[in-house]
Amino acid sequence: MPDQLKFGLTSINAGATSYPEALVRIAQAAETAGFDSLWAGEHHILSESSERFPATNRILNPVVALTFVAAHTHTIRLGTGVLLLPQHQPLILAKELASLDVLSGGRLIVGIGVGWAEAEYEALGVPYRERGARADEYLAAMRAIWSEEKPAYHGRYVSFQEVQAYPHPVQQPTPPIVIGGRAPAVLRRTVEQANGWYGFALDLDETASLLAQLREAAARYYRPASLGELEISVNPRVPLDKETAQRFAQLGVHRLILYPPHGMDAPALEQWVTTVGETLVGQV
């Protein structure tokens, strides 16, 4: 069981907090309340046929939003939760993320995933069926450009040598890499390449099952010692009180990343953040 459960706040780049004044207020309230991290998800576009999200949802670009937040906070960590890695050009994304890590003083957590919306991939001209293979290559390429003295990478989807990209991230050799998702390939990628894993919308039983699957993957795949212990973050889809938070911690969860209650305006959300800080953060 982790020594102290950490709390993050996600979806800070969407809805009520997609407006600049509200984003600053909520980010600063979360930092004051003791949240360890703020998280911003990603959809470049939204499909009009999606049953998950209305296509008119306001979602700021996560790297831009977190850079804005970095300028208005001091200590809270800034997580991409998650970037849809195969939809990016990896060297351009690496530059953007390195810039954010520098400007925030080394507070970045790089959360990545491969996504689920095939229509969005089609609109962006990225083959949906290749998203896993692209994610593996893109992550390796980003590691190289971030940390190697003579960076080079040669794969099917990205290839380069004799180039440089400075400044490197403050956090070396890379900012913490967190991978989101639950497919077998995702769990393999997590074991082999990530510092952390992010489970979305899970209850206690689902969390226990997926952590068991991660342990099985760890027994099957090679994990470099340099990656350290796998940090577990979970977005709970159950009502959360102190007892329930403790049960997540007992399963081996290090961080609970909370979604704001649906439909709250900025003042109500600010009060909710403060209340969570008083009743849960630092109490588990």
State the DSSP string of 108-165.
EEEEEE--S-HHHHHHHT--GGGHHHHHHHHHHHHHHHHH-SS--EE-SS-EE-S---
Residue 50 has pLDDT above 90, yes or no: no
pLDDT level of residue 52 (50, 70, 90 thresholds): confident
pLDDT level of residue 2 (50, 70, 90 thresholds): low
The CB-based long-range contact list for 18-25 (8 Å cut-off, 24+ gap) reads: 18/58, 18/59, 18/60, 19/266, 20/68, 21/266, 22/266, 22/269, 23/60, 23/65, 23/68, 23/69, 24/68, 24/69, 24/72, 25/266, 25/270
Q: 0.85 exceeded by the pTM?
A: yes
CA distance 190 to 187: 5
Q: What's the average model confidence in pLDDT over 149-166?
A: 98
**Cβ atoms 204, 211 nearer than 8 A:** no
Q: What are 80's two structure tokens?
A: 């991409």
CA distance 94 to 104: 15
Residue 60 has pLDDT above 70, yes or no: yes
pLDDT of residue 130: 97
Mean predicted lDDT score pLDDT of the chain:
95
Q: What are 263's two structure tokens?
A: 């439909």
Residue 244 has pLDDT above 80, yes or no: yes
pLDDT of residue 1: 60
Residue 204 has pLDDT above 90, yes or no: yes
Q: What's the average model confidence in pLDDT over 43-67?
A: 89
CA distance 279 to 71: 28
pLDDT of residue 57: 86
Q: How many CB atoms lie within 10 A of CB 13?
A: 26
pLDDT in tens, 62-117: 999 999 999 999 999 999 999 999 999 999 999 999 999 999 999 999 999 999 99
Residue 56 has pLDDT above 90, yes or no: no
Q: What's the average model confidence in pLDDT over 224-232?
A: 96
pLDDT level of residue 145 (50, 70, 90 thresholds): very high
pLDDT of residue 225: 94
CA distance 35 to 20: 20
Taking Cα atoms as reference points, which of 75, 93, 202 lies closest to residue 142? 93
Superfamily of domain 6-279: Luciferase-like domain (3.20.20.30)
